Chains A and B, each alone.
Chain A
Amino acid sequence: MSVLAEKLVTETAAKAHSGADDHQSIHDWGRQRLMQHGFPDLKTEEWKYTPLRVLEKREFQDQPGTATTLPSWPVEGVVLHFDHGILSIDPATLPEGVKLTPTPSDALNKKDYDQIYGQREGAFAWLNLAQFQQAWHLEITGEQTVIIATTTSGAFEAQVHPRMVIDIASNASLNLIEYQRDLGQGLINGTCEINVAEGAKVEHLICRQNTESVWIQRTDVDVAKDADYRVVAFDQGGRLTRHDLKVHVKGSGANGEIDGLVLLNGRQHVDWHTEIAHCVGQTNSREAFRFLADGSSVGVLNGRIHIHADSDDSHSDLNTANLLLSDDARINIKPELEIYSEEVTASHGATIGQLDDRSLFYMQSRGLSEAESLALLKYGFAAEPMMQIQTPEIRDWVLGQLKEVL
């Protein structure tokens, strides 16, 4: 058994607390596959730029952290606060149109996880399946705003494995904010499935700011006919962050869009693996991702566009522009195209460069200090993906945070 397996695969919290495990068979399934495939190393293609040494060195302790507070939100909505992995409100008190229930075992058992998670590359999804304490099912009807906040305090040194399925009903509309702030030194290994039903619309914001924690997240999104899914990620990194975001455009007329901004500093390591799969024709997608890497940080982007056979009239574009701001920072990008259909257009563009000296000089000649000029140039570069946020209040809220950071 590898070091990681020994450390991470333990008795589930549910069993440890109550002596009974409602999800015994599914936990066994996850554990068995994890033991079979093992954890990835640098030879695993999907993990070649992301070593797991930090995790191997870490000791996890199940001590309760101190309660965390939340910021004020730019919009009104239902707040689901997971404080140290534990839901802090009673699901029964939620308003109409937002229903949160534990997922029954038989519903979980129905999925073909071998096909979804694969082998070694999906080790953390298997780990989640083996270890999750509670699998939540969130159902949305009508027009809703939901904020899912996952926070920990500085004392947090445990491992938690949040698991959630979000179903958005036909023609419903969801404004979803995922707020993630982890100040501890533990591991958060989350899995989230989002099913956008026919004609539904989802605007998704991922706002993440971690310090020393290891955060591994997997998001699988299915977009049905005529549905629209747009996600904007504002990621301020962490000691080690890995996010696998897979958007499957599954019905004609559907649209999937990903925008992302990653700000890196110190010795942070952030790895984003995105995939947009066009499973049928007459679908559109777009992706734009930007990294600003300072300090001795490492940024990784693997952006894949996959157009399946018989998906004619699919259109996709991926664009990534990146700034290396220090001599010790590194950026590794891999924009992939995998195309099996003829009547499609697919393209990607990728650049790595630095701030333009001439622009900097121009700004200074107009009376700005060097620091101000730098901040302004960085802001101009970084703000662009954030402009894709459709709700003005949320956009201003994020841009305000961005200004503060830069």
Chain B
Amino acid sequence: MSQTVEQVQGVIQKRYAAGFTTDIESDMMRPGLDEEIVAMISAKKNEPEWMLEWRLKAYRHWLTMPTPNWAHLKIPAIDFQALHYYASPKQKNRPKSLDEVDPKLLETFDRLGVPLHERARLAGVAVDAVFDSVSVGTTFQKELKEAGVIFCSMSEALQEHPELVREYIGSVVPHTDNYFAALNSAVFSDGSFVYLPKDTICPMELSTYFRINARDTGQFERTLIIAEPGSKVSYLEGCTAPMRDENQLHAAVVELVALEKAQIKYSTVQNWYPGDENGKGGIYNFVTKRGDCRGDDSRISWTQVETGSAITWKYPSCIMRGERSAGEFYSVALTHNHQQADTGTKMIHLGKDSTSKIISKGISAGRSNNSYRGLVRVAKKATNVRNYTQCDSLLIGKTCGAHTFPYIEAANASAKVEHEATTSRIGEDQLFYCRSRGLDEEEAVALIVDGFCKEVFKELPMEFAVEAKALLEISLEGSVG
């Protein structure tokens, strides 16, 4: 076996494909974090007064909070005063259409395979592209407008639809929620905003692509999706960053609101730079994602494929407030080299007859540590709740770790909660069988891993599923042994 391993390691040493840097002039604010910087970000975006007040409240609260240390992660101390909290590609005026966007920027997204321009039509996916702290453009706005869907950057939403933003922002993830959510609330620079009116089924997939380019910056975006009764949307999110030796910070907040009978499907393929094979560099990914099934019969589904980031701290959650509401979480988290991931979900059942399903697949290779941390809570008044959780871990290599920390809290006697977890390695017998059928070791591992993750991949929109599978194969290279 070791010979094949060497073969695999020797032949394929593909680099992080999205690790290039775009040489573009940036408009950067001075490093450091204080009330002045918060006010400067707010002023730059020409925000209403209440927004600045909200940001300052969050900042003041953040100052009182200790850094969280409960996760199964080794997080080096972050110097928040050394970071730039705002960086945007230099443009004279805000481009009115994609034709006015700097070609270098378009080229960047083109290299990343994000369909912003002419290919956009073929892909049929509306994209909001965020470069460092600002949104550079949103496609298909006209078509979406005709359908009644609002899909724009957060900055635009604050100008055009301040009443909607004011009503919903912070209503799912309040600024007091946690350390990184408080930080994000104070300094978030852009993000996506989606609003679906009553009974609207979004005519196409919506997508946001996040790119960190500038050095020593942090990206703090905030996404808000509001689905009015009877509406339905599928939203995709992708992210990459250049390869740098320094660590960079990404602290995002995503809030989803699903009203009566509304459905939101949120898919993520996270491919931030994971650092090199010695653990140098990489993105610290501290994200708060939460969906609120506010209306009866509403449904929120999270699907995530996490292959990037040096450190991942992320728990996309659902609060099932409405009766018969449903929450789902499908996740594949892969860690390699020195990556660390502590990820999972929270399913909070408040409504009667609500259901939730959690399928989590963790794959650890190299010297990485991969933890699943999940909470299923059944409130006292939530009758006939049903939850099913399955979390499986796969270990590839002798120096990695796979951990499971599920919290199950039941306070209603009619609840049915089931949880299963297994940890194992790729079996010699499975490998032997695949090889006897003519596959080489690398193909065999890819096939077994693909099979291991199948339940999650099938939940992804097709384009993402193909990308996710390819990403997993690349990320696993050199890990067999």
- Proximity string of chain A (357-385) to chain B, C-beta cutoff 8 Å, 1 when within and 0 when not: 00000000000000000000000000000
Q: How far is the CB of A397 from chain B (nearest CB, A)?
A: 31
Nearest B residue (CB) for A325: B413
Contacts of A327 in B (CB 8 A): 380, 412-413
Contacting A at CB under 8 A, from B395-434, are: 395-425
Is A326 an interface residue, CB under 8 A from the partner?
Answer: yes
In the assembly, what is the distance between CA of A350 and CA of B423, in Å?
15
B155 CB within 8 Å of chain A: no
Residues of B within 8 A of A346 (CB): 422-424
Report whether B419 and A45 are in contact in the complex, using a CB–CB cutoff of 8 Å. no
- Determine the chain A residues whose CB is within 8 A of the CB of B412 once the complex forms: 324, 327
Of the residues B393, B402, B408, contact of A352 by C-beta under 8 Å? B408
Total number of B residues with any Cβ neighbor in A under 8 Å: 34
Q: Quick one: given A332-B408, A342-B398, A344-B423, are A350 and B413 in contact (CB under 8 Å)?
A: no
For B422, the chain A residues whose CB sits under 8 A away are 345-347
* A347–B421 alpha-carbon span in the complex (Å): 5
Q: A335-B419, A337-B393 known; A348 and B409 CB under 8 Å?
A: no
Quick one: which of B393, B413, B417, B421 contacts A335, CB cutoff 8 A? B421
A128-175 interface with B by 8 A CB criterion: none
A28 within 8 A of B: no
| Residues B408 and A354 in contact, CB atoms below 8 Å apart | no
Question: A337-B393, A352-B416, A353-B416 are contacts. A331–B410 as well, Cβ < 8 Å?
Answer: yes
Q: Residues of B contacting A341 with CB < 8 Å?
A: 395, 398
Tell me if B70 counts as interface (CB < 8 A to partner A). Answer: yes
Q: How far is the CA of A351 from the CA of B407 in the complex (A)?
A: 12
A338 close to B403 (CB less than 8 A): yes
**Are A339 and B403 in touch, CB under 8 angstroms?**
yes
Residues of the B chain whose Cβ atoms lie less than 8 Å from the Cβ of A309: 398-399
Within 8 A of A (CB), among B43-83: 70
Asked whether, in the complex, the Cβ of A351 is within 8 Å of the Cβ of B418, the reply is yes
Q: Residues 309-346 of chain A: 1 if any B CB is under 8 Å from the residue's CB, otherwise 0?
A: 11010000000001011111111111111111111111
Question: In the bound complex, do residue B406 and residue A352 qualify as a contact, i.e. CB atoms below 8 Å apart?
Answer: no
Closest CB in chain B relative to A334 CB, distance in Å: 5
Instruction: Looking at the assembled complex, report how far the CB atom of B473 sits from the nearest CB atom of chain A, in whole angstroms.
Output: 21
A44 to B116, CA, bound (A): 49
Contacts of A95 in B (CB 8 A): none
B417 and A353: CB pair below 8 A? yes
| Contacting residue for A332 out of B393, B395, B409, B416, CB 8 A | B409
A325 to B422, CA, bound (A): 29
Task: Return B367 CB to nearest CB of chain A, in Å.
Answer: 11
Q: Which residues of B contact A347 (CB under 8 A)?
A: 420-423
Name 27 A/B residue pairs within 8 A (Cβ), A-sorted. A309-B399, A310-B398, A312-B398, A331-B409, A332-B408, A335-B421, A336-B404, A337-B393, A337-B404, A338-B403, A339-B395, A340-B400, A341-B398, A342-B397, A344-B395, A344-B424, A344-B425, A345-B424, A346-B422, A346-B424, A347-B421, A347-B422, A349-B420, A350-B419, A351-B416, A351-B417, A354-B414
List the 8 closest pairs (A to B, CB-CB), nearest first: A350-B419, A337-B404, A324-B413, A347-B422, A352-B417, A346-B423, A352-B410, A330-B411
Residues of B within 8 A of A (CB): 70, 380, 393, 395-425
